[in-house]
């Protein structure tokens, strides 16, 4: 199944892969970045949940943050992080070729993830991060739980919505 990579083919910034092996890893990891997210979204949708995909959140003085799956009413931001791009402790690896390119780049990704989470939380969002290796139905169950809790908070808190 050919998942189209997030944001299309924006690989202009990547170095020329030095070996077919590295090229294959890059290609595989790019597609694996989106496959698990689609599976999770499918489970969420089947459960009757509605959400925004690739939802951009702007906060003062920070670069906009694009959330993989956003539940805007309860301010829940969900990320599905690719094991390679986000250096999963179980599956994250640095390609031996171009290591001087990849190591800082992958470290920067992790740092950026941390910053994005912190920024969103400061702005009142709850952040849930999953790895692409996480089982979609388990992830979905956690999201449903979170939404349950957050919905209570919304009801108890300042009523921003009209009606009942
Ligand atoms: Zn992993």
* Local confidence band at 17 (pLDDT 50, 70, 90 cut-offs): low
pTM of full prediction above 0.75: no
Phi and psi at residue 11, in whole multiples of 5°? -100, 20
- Antiparallel, parallel or unpaired: β 52-57 and 126-131: unpaired
DSSP 96: S
How many angstroms separate the alpha carbon of residue 88 from the centre of ligand 1?
5
- In the predicted model, what is the mean pLDDT of residues 93-116? 90
In this prediction, residue 12 carries a pLDDT of: 47
How far apart, in whole angstroms, are the C-alpha atoms of residue 93 and residue 69? 26
How many angstroms separate the alpha carbon of residue 82 from the centre of ligand 1?
7
Q: Which residues surround ligand 1, an ion (CB under 5 A)?
A: 83, 88, 90-91, 131, 133
How many angstroms separate the alpha carbon of residue 85 from the centre of ligand 1?
10
DSSP 33: T
Q: Using CA of residue 94, residue 15, residue 34, residue 116, what is the dihedral sign?
A: positive
* Contact between 113 and 130 (Cβ < 8 Å): no
How many angstroms separate the alpha carbon of residue 156 from the centre of ligand 1?
37
How many angstroms separate the alpha carbon of residue 146 from the centre of ligand 1?
22
Give the H or E element holding residue 47. none
């Amino acid at each position: 199944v050919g998942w189209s990579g997030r944001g299309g083919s924006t690989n202009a910034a990547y170095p020329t892969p030095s070996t077919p092996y590295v090229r294959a890893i890059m290609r595989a990891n790019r597609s694996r970045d989106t496959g698990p997210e689609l599976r999770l979204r499918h489970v969420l949708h089947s459960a009757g949940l509605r959400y925004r995909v690739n939802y951009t959140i702007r906060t003062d003085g920070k670069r906009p943050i694009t959330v993989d799956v956003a539940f805007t009413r309860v301010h829940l931001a969900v990320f599905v992080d690719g094991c390679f791009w986000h250096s999963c402790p179980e599956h994250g690896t640095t390609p031996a070729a171009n290591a001087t390119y990849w190591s800082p780049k992958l470290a920067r990704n992790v740092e950026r993830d941390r910053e994005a989470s912190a920024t969103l939380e400061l702005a009142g969002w709850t952040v849930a991060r999953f790895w692409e290796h996480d089982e979609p139905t388990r992830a979905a169950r956690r999201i449903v739980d979170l939404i349950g809790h957050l919905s209570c908070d919304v009801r108890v808190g300042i009523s921003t919505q009209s009606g009942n």
